[in-house]
Amino acid sequence: MSEFLFLYRGADRGGSPEQLQQRMQKWTAWMKDLTAKGHMKDQGHPLERTGKRVKGKQKTVIDGPFAESKDLVGGYTLIEARDLEQAVELSKGCPIFEAETAVLEVRPIMIMNI
Amino acid sequence: MVATLTRIFGVHNLALAEDVVQDAFCRALEVWSFRGMPENPSAWLMATAKNRALDVLRRERTARVFAPELGRLLESEWTLAPVMEDLFAANAIKDDQLRMMFSCCHPRLPEEAQVALILHILCGFSIDEVAGAFVNTHAAMQKRITRAKKILAGSKRLFDVTLAAEFSARLPVVLRTLYLLFNEGYHGASPEAAVRAELCREAMRLVSILLDHPLGKTPATHALLALMCLNAARLPARIDSSGDLHALFDQDRSQWDRQLVGEGSRFLELSAAGSELTEYHVEAGIAAAHAQAARAEETDWKLIVSLYDTLMTLNPSPIVALNRAIAIAQDEGPERGLEEVQSMGDRDRLVAYPFYFAALGELELRCGNRETARRHFSAASAVARNPMERRFLSGRIAVCERDATP
């Protein structure tokens, strides 16, 4: 098994308390399912929508990314899968896709093969 | 939480308070999606709301004015955190709910707007959910609530629950609003359901908060809670497990919540203090009379008729008159009941009320006039408001048609 990172972008936020609860239930169910099938390595965390960027040789500190930005990574999860193809298949069950703007990035973790 | 934050930010910052609460919810649910729900979610939410509030206070204290009464305490970093701790303490939170309840019963707001505001701000109902409770469109309810919030935010401060004269003056309005809220849940006209138990529960919860306050602990408040408990006790039989509506005569009384009946009776006794007699007292008395009968046949209808007579002097509404006529029918026979209905002054006000026609249908059926009864039940069905009512009425129509003489 190899490890893969799911990076979440463009998820729906906000809504009525009812909608928020339903959304939470769907995410919880999906994560539980991944865990039950032995794919969950680390549920991860949601990320605050502000931050800083430190750039270049000068290590210039600037604001960013910004909350409205399409690039904003909203959270991450670490999973285990047989290969990238399987990891992608597993990602398709994510409730994030209820949002038009959702983008789920799947990145293999680089490992040292002895 | 909105009530508590409005206390801290000041009523003119009501919108800010709502934003902070919304934000707290969003954050909480986002984290819980990843890491699972904590053991005590409401404590977690409170803590999150408090921290966001602290952020807002620190960030904006030069730009904004917050609650005038708290003024200096919020400005100084020394006092800010301890004051916030106090403001979020359990008893303070209950007081905030009371304050908000009274504030929502603003004299410039019509009754329906007061109830809508309480549902939205105190009970956390979304605009859609409040619209559903009142058979309004989302747009109409949005407008009503927005306008009501403006009026509320325009008051100089939240209602001061320590001023005895003002408290007592506004208490009847608050009681009436909570009564309407309960009624909405019990006799609801929502297109989905004939009964909305959660509205009844919210109403009961809010009256209990009233009772905790020395100025709120009046005979009328006790009577109101009595009537709510005694009526709510019948809910499990009013709508059965398949969602079907059952008339009082036809309910499985073993499903009645005996504990609620006990509590209702206790509050009814407490309400007998003093000399004040309100509609709530009488309605509670009627509900108690029903609760005491193990079977419909054992009901003391004479007592109930005399209670309705009293109720008519306090609140001569057509619905009360109708219920009185039904009670008379139970006591003296269906012909007498029909006489009473026909002599009602303002029957035309009931033309949109399905249970008016249903009552006529019931009485005609008992007199043996199946065809007339069937016509009344059909008229009822035409103004029925939800599938439960329609099913109930179809059932009665079927009874009229069954064994009909060929």
pLDDT score at B11: 86
pLDDT per position as a tens digit, A84-94: 999 999 999 99
Asked if residue A113 belongs to a domain, the reply is no
Q: How confident is the model over B112-135, as pLDDT tens digits?
A: 899 899 988 988 888 887 887 776
Q: Given a cut of 80, is residue B192 above it in pLDDT?
A: no
pLDDT band, residue B405 (cuts 50/70/90): low
- Is A94 inside a domain boundary? yes
* Chain A residues within an 8 Å CB radius of B32: 24, 28
- Mean pLDDT over B361-371 rounds to 92
A67, two tokens: 């909350």
Amino acid, res. B212? D
On the CB side of B250, CA atoms within 13 Å amount to 10
What DSSP assignment string belongs to A15-55? --HHHHHHHHHHHHHHHHHHHHTT-EEEEEEE--S--EEEE
Does residue A62 form part of some domain? yes
Q: Confidence band (pLDDT; 50, 70, 90) for A114?
A: low
- A49 neighbourhood in chain B, CB within 8 Å: none
Which residues in chain B touch residue A7, judged by CB atoms under 8 angstroms apart? none
**Residue span of the structural domain in which A83 resides:** 2-108
User: Given B25, B36, B37, which is nearest A20 (Cβ)?
Assistant: B25
State the complex-level ipTM. 0.85
Q: Closest partner residue to B34 among A13, A23, A45, by Cβ?
A: A45
Task: Tell me what pLDDT residue B143 has.
Answer: 92
> Domain of A59: which CATH number?
3.30.70.1060
What CA–CA distance (Å, rounded) separates A69 from B37?
A: 29
B25, B30, B42, best to mutate vs chain A, most A CBs in 10 Å = B30
Residue B69: both structure tokens together: 């009464």
Buried b (16+ CB within 10 A) or exposed e, B363-385: bbbbbebbebbbbbbbbbbebbb
d(CA A33, CA A26): 11
3 state DSSP class of A105:
strand
Position B191 scores a pLDDT of: 67
Does residue A114 form part of some domain?
Answer: no
Q: Report the percent of chain A where pLDDT is more than 90.
A: 75
C-alpha–C-alpha distance, residues B79 and B216, integer Å: 32
pLDDT digits (tens, 9 = 90+) for B19-49: 999 888 888 889 999 988 888 888 888 888 8
Residue B62 has pLDDT above 80, yes or no: no
Task: Give the pair of three-digit tokens for residue B306.
Answer: 């005399």
User: Between chain A and chain B, how many beta carbons pairs sit less than 8 Å apart?
Assistant: 43
pLDDT of residue B276: 85
In a domain, A78, yes or no: yes
Smallest CA-to-CA distance from B308 within B337, B277, B279, B276 is with B279
Confidence (pLDDT) at A66: 87
In chain B, the largest separation of any two C-alpha atoms, in whole Å, equals 89
pLDDT (mean) for B329-335 = 93
Q: Is the pLDDT of residue B406 over 60?
A: no
Does the pTM of the predicted model rise above 0.90?
Answer: no
For B159, the token pair is 């209602």
Peptide bond into A65 cis (omega under 30): yes
List all residues 6 or more positions away from B316 whose beta carbon is below 8 Å from its beta carbon.
Answer: none
Number of domains into which chain A is organized: 1
- Beta-bridged to residue A7, according to DSSP, are A76, A105
Q: What percent of chain A has pLDDT over 70?
A: 99
- Decide if A47 is inside a domain: yes
Q: What is the separation of C-alpha B287 from the centre of its chain, rounded to a whole number of angstroms?
A: 16
At residue B148, the 3 state secondary structure works out as: helix
Chain B nearest-CA residue for A40: B34
